[in-house]
Structure 1
Amino acid sequence: MAASNPYNNYKEQAIMTMTPGELIIVLYEECIKMLNHAVFYIEEKNDPDEADKAIRKAQRIIHYLDGILDYKYEISGNLHMLYDYFIRTLVQANIRKRVEVFKPIIPMLTELKDSFQQAEKKVHMK
């Protein structure tokens, strides 16, 4: 039997105890991180395989975010269209390995993350 990794156990427990808002923020952060990694692997390392992995992980995160939308809120339709745009753009960028195609998505994701952070703060102030 393999020994468990304490760091992985800690990460898993931290994720399991997050509020839904905190989890969304972490997902945005990871997506942004993956896209920045893709930029690095394309521009600095010329490593299309690693860039592909990073872009695909970002796509999976965006698909997940899209899948958990609650359509009883009006904003969900707008977020769905935005996530759809992100996915289509990332697919095209990944095919061509063109940073300039997907780089503009990073500040958009950052703005969404910041908005969710503000909303999460307001929820916990009550």
Structure 2
Amino acid sequence: MHRLKIERLPSNDGGRLLVRVHKQYRNGIDRYGIAELRNAQNEKSVRVLVLGHERDDAIFMPYDIRTALGVKKGGDLEFSISPENWYGKLRWYLGTPDPAVHIPAWIALIALVLSVLGLVLGGLSFFC
């Protein structure tokens, strides 16, 4: 478990649903990795996009993530962070409220389903 002060995201990240935390607290999660961030005090968790930050004394997050975790800006967060598997990543991409992320994800999923359907129908035409 780690304990860091909660601060708001830098202004250039405004409107984005991501968390910035120093590399030493990311448990090997790469830049732009999807992770589960869990508040150790109330066990609330949220899937987040993780980026780095130079400061190692704070975790930076927007209002929506803070409210999902049940914490306030300026307070402390005792947290654990763990990487998501492929299913968790897919759920994040399809379920994030950011339209710049979920709309292309849904388009890609629909295209994949239609492609598989086309392969199945094409394969059946060879055998029938």
Alignment TM class, shorter chain as reference: under 0.3
Larger radius of gyration: 2
Q: Tell me the TM-score normalized by structure 2.
A: 0.27
The structure whose residues are more often strand, as a share, is 2
Q: Tell me the TM-score normalized by structure 1.
A: 0.27
The structure whose residues are more often helix, as a share, is 1
